[in-house]
Chains A and B, each alone.
Chain A
Amino acid sequence: MSVIIDAEKCGKIENCPGEGLCIKLCEQGALEEKDGDILLIPEKCDDCDLCIQNCPNQAISKDG
């Protein structure tokens, strides 16, 4: 199971109603901003699912 970000649903951080809420919520530093997009660092992810639950665009999910 790994976290996947749907780039289409996500859009750029500047358009995010939560202004990059997932980055702010993730205390593991597994989500970062890169060129205005969200970048996932899988090694840091602890599978807490906070980003999935709180994404205003419902752009984050898990595969598997």
Chain B
Amino acid sequence: MHSKLSKPGDIQGWIKMKSEGINKISQTVQTKKHPKSGTDKTKLERNGDQKRCLDYISQNCIGCGICVDICPTNSIKSAPTLPIARGLLKMDHISVNKDTCALCGLCASSCAFNALKFSINDTDVKKTEMYPKWSHQTTIDNDLCVYCNKCENVCPRDAIKVSRTLPERSKLVTGEIDINKEKCIDCGICEEMCPADAITIKETGKNSFEISVDEKKCVYCLVCKRACPEDAITAACRLCSYGEYELNPEDTAIKGKVVLDDETCISCGWCEDICPKGAVDVIKPFEGEIFTVNEDECKGESCHACEDVCPCNAITLENGKAHINPDHCVLCGVCAKACPQNNITIKRSSMNLENVRSKSWDKILSNLVG
């Protein structure tokens, strides 16, 4: 399979991409009719003029090069992924040659990561019945989510945003506290020991003080009561005293929202893995396997190209050698292309691209698997 694939470093002319890089191709296609030719072209019916548009969304591109491999007119060139990943080159991962691009849309249909969009007459072809659709996806069940933020923190693409509103602390506790000001000697011990900063003693005049308790802050832990040398404080926690003391569920509810950006999510599975509530379900774009061919060949610390280019944070160095965690791999193949030793092999067994109606497309796409 690898013989068919491009290696970024092998591509002549990426240098020119800086000046010639095109990130949007838009042209109006004059419909050609081939009434008598009997070729495949006649099977594609187009009524009137079409506006075809190929859009490259740079921030979604992970540099996997699937579009480069798949383009039937060899119109897409890839830049070396590693220097871009390391921030040494500031350029797009790919550039499309506008002179040779046939605007067929196969690249956009095969891009599993929403980096290429193809529209006809301003309609994204993925929203039409005629074009293939990826069925890989990540879904987060808001009903199961407890807004712990773990998924947001772990997502390598920053595709998840969790927002939550916590209840007021004072509404989760209930109790009574009273300070007998006759007995109080203003020693300040309770103020110093209160873990909730709920007690304040204010100087109101010469040798006169006023002690007060902020009941919004007090958690009725009774530390003040126990510490007071004068037994001036009476306090009780209702929850401790009565066991299951009913709190108003409205007051204690944690409210929140978890929002997943489908455009930047690459279905790597980190969120599913880390979610303690089983609220995430991930279907990956490809099924298959990935492995290092010969561990001895791996240059580890000297190179770590695979670790740097992996968009899924699925590769780490362990004992000086690249270690790939298949659970977080999307089989995009960018590591295999970036490895100077050709030491990483991916074998895709299937891809979750549905509704491929064209036989010729199906044939080209089948090069990605098997």
Q: At the interface, yes or no: B302 with Cβ under 8 Å from chain A? A: yes
Tier of interface size on chain A: 10 to 19
Residues of A close to B14: CB separation below 8 A: 56
Does B80 lie within 8 Å of A48, measured CB to CB?
A: no
Q: At the interface, yes or no: A41 with Cβ under 8 Å from chain B? A: no
A48 to B305, CA, bound (A): 10
Q: At the interface, yes or no: A53 with Cβ under 8 Å from chain B? A: yes
With contacts A46-B299, A47-B299 taken as known, whether A53 is within 8 angstroms of B9 at the C-beta atoms is: yes
Does B15 lie within 8 Å of A50, measured CB to CB?
A: no
A31 to B193, CA, bound (A): 62
Q: What is the distance, in angstroms, from B275's C-beta to the closest C-beta of chain A? A: 36
Does B89 lie within 8 Å of A21, measured CB to CB?
A: yes
Q: At the interface, yes or no: A7 with Cβ under 8 Å from chain B? A: no
For chain B, residues 55 to 99, give those with C-beta under 8 angstroms from any C-beta of chain A: 80, 82-83, 86, 88-89
Residues of B close to A33: CB separation below 8 A: none
Q: At the interface, yes or no: A18 with Cβ under 8 Å from chain B? A: yes
Does A54 lie within 8 Å of B303, measured CB to CB?
A: no
A56 to B83, CA, bound (A): 11
Q: At the interface, yes or no: B18 with Cβ under 8 Å from chain A? A: yes
A43 to B305, CA, bound (A): 21
With contacts A48-B340, A49-B340, A53-B340 taken as known, whether A28 is within 8 angstroms of B89 at the C-beta atoms is: no
Q: At the interface, yes or no: A5 with Cβ under 8 Å from chain B? A: no
Interface on A for B, CB 8 Å cutoff?
A: 17-18, 21, 24-25, 27-28, 46-50, 52-58
Interface on B for A, CB 8 Å cutoff?
A: 7-9, 12, 14-15, 18, 80, 82-83, 86, 88-89, 299, 301-303, 305, 338, 340-341
Top 4 nearest A-B pairs by Cβ distance? A49-B340, A53-B9, A48-B299, A46-B302
